[in-house]
Amino acid sequence: MLNASISYFSANDRYRIALFGRNLTDEEYQTSGLSVANLWNFSTYGNPLT
Rounded average pLDDT per 10-residue block, the chain, 50 residues: 96 94 95 90 93
Q: Where are the domains of the chain?
A: 4-45
Q: Which residues of 25-42 are buried (b: 16+ CB within 10 A; e: fewer)?
A: eeeeeeeeeeeeeeeeee
* pTM (2 d.p.): 0.66
pLDDT value at residue 20: 96
Cβ pair 7, 20 in contact under 8 A: no
pLDDT at residue number 31: 93
